[in-house]
């Protein structure tokens, strides 16, 4: 299987190379701002001409927003707008224009209703101090050196890496990978280089290809599996939640107080921050980056174990954006990384040849008895033990939901996705246009404020955060 995969390495540039990297990122930011100013000028000119009653055929010709069109205009005027352009690689300016073309395309598709999610605003100019320092190289001498301790970038030359590049170098030497681009970025006070490669993967199939496992995500436990997994869960099947951000909150409070005592930037007066403020802010940002790295490492280990161990994995289609609107749980939900777990499972199941099934958002996994199938009308969130009124089963709420999800893949009675589906098949991409089936003989009633049929006992206008579970 041929996939696109990124390999990210930390760099150890010399002071001169660090300044050169910053210069290339600044050149990309300059090209972005120049192109955005040109686009706004053409748009404003056309609007002004329309207000004067000028015929459409006589208006100023529109400017195409594609990368080739913007790069063509840049090459015509670069000697006038940037006489110093030869100091940086041409890839830095192309990187900035490519970012602008993508931003304008996202705004256009969002405005036309062709893009899912929240509305995308029109691009804004990038500040010299607030913008992320990043630059991408697609052509030229982009390679990993044979000593596995250096990389080579156009105009920048050889740069030493902080870690060994053998993981990518072995694939390049074997001919199973091809470098497409390299992106340098400053994060947490350290430069990183990410190689986007076309990789030919031959991952082994899952250890238990015929086994189905349900995964119920939560806050008390990061995930509860329908069956225990050695080395990952406890005897019950629960994966402990490390709560990296909560553990680092005390250190973050101390660093934030130190930052607040320094003379920081002021957007109203244009005052620039002091050097002490910048150093204190860097120390605080290092904690944020460490938390992000720890969370990413833990989620990768969990999703890799699931994809390598089971042939079918069933998860829920959670409304994470809606759940984050709950101010009491937003921080814990963001710290758990529900969306990242689903994203990683989506591509890792494709690599392994396993199957990812996405349950419908309105599937009552927590309210349904995993033994007899009887469903409760409602089950408040604070009740953590499920007690069945029909068969008398008493079981942990999350474990009961995980077993129901596992049984869902076998019965296939409610909305499920296919192999590696990122979204369930529906018209709007959110699963909200489906109708919840009445369970255990309950009559379905039509609520005036929702088009879907809900079982009797579900409160009218129930929030998608709780999914009526």
**In the predicted structure, residue 349 carries a pLDDT above the cut 70:** yes
> Residue 412's pLDDT is what?
55
pTM: 0.80
**In the predicted structure, residue 153 carries a pLDDT above the cut 70:** yes
69-128, pLDDT tens digit by residue? 999 999 999 999 999 999 999 999 999 999 999 999 999 999 999 998 889 999 999 998
Q: Is 216 a catalytic residue?
A: yes
168-225, pLDDT tens digit by residue? 999 999 999 999 999 999 998 899 999 999 999 988 999 999 999 999 998 889 999 9
351-368, pLDDT tens digit by residue? 999 999 999 888 888 888
Place of tokens 């069956």: 227
Q: What is the mean pLDDT of residues 48-77?
A: 91
> Residue 452's pLDDT is what?
35
- For the ranges 168-172, 188-192, 237-241, 448-452, the lowest mean pLDDT is seen at 448-452
Q: What is the mean pLDDT of residues 368-386?
A: 85
> Residue 350's pLDDT is what?
93
- The residue from 316, 335, 360, 396 that is catalytic is 316
> Residue 448's pLDDT is what?
34
> Residue 444's pLDDT is what?
36
**In the predicted structure, residue 439 carries a pLDDT above the cut 60:** no
**In the predicted structure, residue 425 carries a pLDDT above the cut 60:** no
Residue 246 vs residue 268, higher pLDDT:
246
- For the ranges 38-47, 384-393, 447-456, the lowest mean pLDDT is seen at 447-456
> Residue 454's pLDDT is what?
32
Share of the chain above pLDDT 90, in %: 60
Locate the domains of the chain by residue range: 2-14+133-200, 23-111, 209-434
Mean pLDDT of the chain: 85
Q: What is the mean pLDDT of residues 427-442?
A: 41
Q: Is 360 a catalytic residue?
A: no
10-36, pLDDT tens digit by residue? 999 999 999 999 999 999 999 999 999
- The residue from 216, 335, 360, 396 that is catalytic is 216
């Amino acid at each position: 299987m041929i996939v696109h995969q990124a390999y990210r390495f930390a760099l150890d540039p010399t002071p001169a190379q660090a300044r050169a990297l910053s210069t290339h990122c600044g050149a990309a930011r300059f090209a972005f701002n120049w192109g955005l100013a040109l686009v706004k000028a053409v748009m404003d000119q056309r609007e002004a001409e329309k207000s004067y009653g000028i015929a459409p055929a006589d208006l100023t010709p529109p400017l195409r927003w594609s990368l080739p069109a913007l790069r063509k205009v840049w090459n015509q005027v670069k000697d006038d707008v940037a006489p110093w352009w030869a100091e940086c690689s041409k890839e830095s300016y192309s990187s900035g224009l490519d970012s602008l073309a993508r931003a304008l395309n996202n705004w256009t598709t969002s405005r036309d209703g062709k893009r899912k999610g929240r509305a995308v605003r029109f691009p804004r100019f990038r500040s010299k101090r607030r913008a992320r320092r990043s630059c991408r190289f697609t052509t030229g001498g982009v390679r990993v050196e044979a000593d596995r301790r250096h990389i080579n970038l156009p105009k920048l030359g050889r740069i030493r890496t902080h870690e060994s590049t053998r993981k990518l170098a072995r694939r390049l030497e074997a001919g199973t990978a091809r470098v497409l681009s390299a992106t340098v970025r400053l994060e947490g006070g350290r430069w990183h280089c990410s190689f986007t490669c076309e990789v030919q993967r031959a991952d082994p199939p899952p250890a238990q290809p015929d086994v189905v496992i349900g995964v119920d995500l939560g806050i008390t436990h990061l995930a509860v599996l329908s069956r225990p997994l050695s080395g990952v869960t406890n005897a019950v099947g629960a994966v402990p939640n490390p709560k990296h951000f909560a553990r680092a909150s005390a250190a973050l409070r101390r660093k934030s107080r130190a930052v607040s005592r320094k003379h920081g930037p002021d957007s109203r007066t244009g005052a620039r921050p002091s050097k002490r403020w910048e150093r204190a802010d860097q120390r605080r940002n290092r904690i944020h980056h460490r938390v992000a790295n720890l969370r990413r490492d833990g989620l990768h280990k969990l999703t890799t174990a699931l994809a390598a161990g089971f042939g079918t994995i069933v998860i829920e289609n959670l409304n994470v954006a809606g759940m984050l609107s709950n101010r009491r749980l937003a921080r814990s939900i963001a710290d758990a990384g529900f969306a990242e777990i689903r994203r990683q499972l989506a591509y890792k199941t494709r690599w392994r040849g396993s199957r990812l099934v996405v349950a419908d958002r309105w599937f009552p996994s927590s309210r349904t008895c995993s033994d007899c199938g009887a469903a409760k009308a409602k089950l408040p969130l604070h009740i953590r033990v499920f007690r069945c009124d029909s068969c008398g089963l008493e079981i942990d709420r999350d474990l009961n939901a995980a077993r129901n999800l596992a049984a869902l893949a076998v019965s296939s009675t409610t909305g499920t996705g296919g192999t590696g589906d990122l979204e369930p098949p529906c018209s709007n991409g959110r699963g909200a246009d489906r109708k919840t089936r009445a369970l255990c003989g309950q009559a379905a009633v039509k609520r005036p404020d929702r088009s879907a049929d809900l079982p009797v006992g579900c409160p009218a206008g129930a929030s998608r955060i709780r999914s009526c579970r």
